Amino acid sequence: MSTPVSIHDGPFTTNTLASKKFLIFYVIIIWWSVLPLMLEFYLFWKLVENHLFFFILLLPIEIYVGYLILVFSSILLAKISLSIINLIHKPKEGVFKRKKSDKNFYFWSLRAVIKKWPIWVSKFIPLPLVDKLNLRWFHNDSEFIEYGKNVCIGEGSSIKASLIFGEFLIIKKVKIDDNVTIGSNCFIAPGTHIYKNSVIATMSETRYNQRVKSNSYLNTDSDNLIQLLKKILSTNESSTKQTQDNSNTMQNKKQTKKFVKNFAFDITIFGILYFLSNFIPVMGSIYFVLILFFPFFLQSPSYFTIFKNCNSILIFLITPLFIIFFYFLNLLFVIFFTKLFYKWITHLNPVKEGIIEWEKKTTDYKYYFKRSFILRYIKWKIQKSPFPWLIKFAFNFIGNCQIGNNTVLEDSYLAKELFVAGNNTYIGKVLLANHLWDKNLIIKKIKLGNNVTILDNCCIAPGTEINDNVLLLPLSVTTKNSILLANSIYFNTSLTKISKEVLIQAFNINKEDLMLNINYFRKQ
């Protein structure tokens, strides 16, 4: 099995958290996986303790070796934890309620939490062996995904043995046979069986329980793309003449740059934010190393004395917890100081919706870029951290977005402001954009109601309003200012509301198979 070198996200595991208590278990996994690294570093320190030259010379090698030890100890510990959890409650296929009281949903979420740490820690250095282990052991629903030989998976593709479907969780085994190629940005639905020597074209999707025959070529997006292009062409036909008439005038205009460069502002804000958020954690770390870690651990004469002396073994055991604490403290400081900067900027120029002519470089336009820069770092910092669950707290605390209770945000391309999500909403790996570059810059709020489900590879345009109890199937796209009616199902590249009967044909899902609430369909 292989994946292109362009893939940077790596294997995926959901951020769905059935119980906050799982985070305690998550911290324990991180804690114990760091301990072997500490023992290896102790050995390195004893070898170069009195040789500064060799310490400097060998330090890069030590960092690499230490990282490998951390990666494989994390993988081993997570694998053991998964084996124990699976003995307590064996993973099952089926349709389950998205409630803590449903054991299958509960343990599905717990398995995802266990898998998250080895996936995160192994992202920093591309190692083919580790990538394969992560895909086979720690990819979301890896228990229900079977890969053959010589399988190639394109960038941005989602292999899903589970699917959030309204109030339900569907789990159905996915089987990919030998010599299968899956293009980029594809969606492989639960229950799919792709037989050998098949090719799934870019931006294609399989349906629930679909069988892709051997030596076949699946391209489900071509018809939708042609329809979308025809629609765009017909819409633009009326404005073609006007565009041609104005073309000479536009060419005579002085060329202006679309984006605003605030280099001095950006570097200053980032420097201050970086310094303030790291100062106390770094100072605390230095104090811990000099006062506790160095004298009680590194100065121990041998491994034997570490475990013989109470102070040494205590420092050995609590050091990983201090590392986690200082990292977490850094995230909290980033959130806090980002809020201060954001409030200052919005005080000078409040957030506004509307259409901005970028050629005029108005004050609103310039401040839009400043706010975007301030929020970009915090979004990246948290979503790419081992604690992505903090993103809801961070955005609500800063005040740039409003995200309701029990809402799940996967690692999405998420709007950084003017985004409102209700309660019990699930947002998969999707694109939500509150701005759109057209002839002008269009900035519009995205609003999601309660119990909304947006599945992977969807695109939500500025101004979209999605009412309560709406389901968007994979690869669905809204246009700007779309309004999606409550209690509805939408599907397709050119967004279409569909009934239960169409749902059966379009995605191969029916009420009986999924045990869906019959009242949900009575409103169709």
- Asked whether residue 264 falls in the same domain as residue 136, the answer is no
> Is residue 228 in a domain?
no
> Is residue 418 in a domain?
no
| pLDDT the model gives residue 361 | 79
State which of 304, 327, 359 marks the end of a domain.
359
List the domain range (segments joined by +) for residue 67.
1-140
Which run of H or of E encompasses 274? Answer: helix 263-288
> Is residue 439 in a domain?
no
Of 200, 158, 154, 149, give the one whose Cα is nearest residue 179: 149
Q: Who's near 174: CB < 8 A, 6+ residues apart?
A: 141, 144, 145, 146, 159, 160, 161, 188, 190, 191, 192, 193
Asked if residue 221 lies in contact with residue 238, where contact means CB atoms within 8 angstroms, the answer is no
- Asked whether residue 3 falls in the same domain as residue 136, the answer is yes
Integer Cα distance of 500 and 487 in angstroms: 12
Our measurement of the distance from residue 247's CA atom to the centroid of its chain's CA atoms, rounded to an integer in Å, reads 42
pLDDT tens, position by position, 194-224: 999 999 988 888 888 889 999 989 887 545 5
> Is residue 521 in a domain?
no
Which run of H or of E encompasses 448? Answer: strand 446-448
Which run of H or of E encompasses 282? Answer: helix 263-288
**163: helix, strand or coil:** strand
Q: Which amino acid is at 17?
A: L
Integer Cα distance of 231 and 209 in angstroms: 32
Phi, psi of 160 (to 5 degrees): -120, 115
Q: Extract the tokens encoding 359.
A: 């050629």
- Asked whether residue 136 falls in the same domain as residue 265, the answer is no
> Is residue 34 in a domain?
yes
Low-confidence stretches of the chain (pLDDT beneath 50): 2-8, 222, 225-226, 228-255, 516-524
> Is residue 42 in a domain?
yes
> Is residue 120 in a domain?
yes
Integer Cα distance of 190 and 210 in angstroms: 9
Q: How many domains does the chain have?
A: 2
> Is residue 178 in a domain?
no
β-bridge partners, 354: 443
State which of 115, 140, 165 marks the end of a domain.
140
**485: helix, strand or coil:** coil
What does each C-alpha distance from 468 to 234, 425, 434 come to in angstroms?
32, 9, 20
pLDDT tens, position by position, 5-19: 333 456 788 999 999
| pLDDT the model gives residue 33 | 95
In 123-261, which ranges are continuous DSSP H helix? 128-133, 222-237, 240-252
pLDDT tens, position by position, 321-347: 999 999 999 999 999 999 999 999 999
- Asked whether residue 1 falls in the same domain as residue 136, the answer is yes
Integer Cα distance of 327 and 285 in angstroms: 10
Phi, psi of 329 (to 5 degrees): -65, -40
State which of 332, 359, 386 marks the end of a domain.
359
Phi, psi of 401 (to 5 degrees): -140, 165
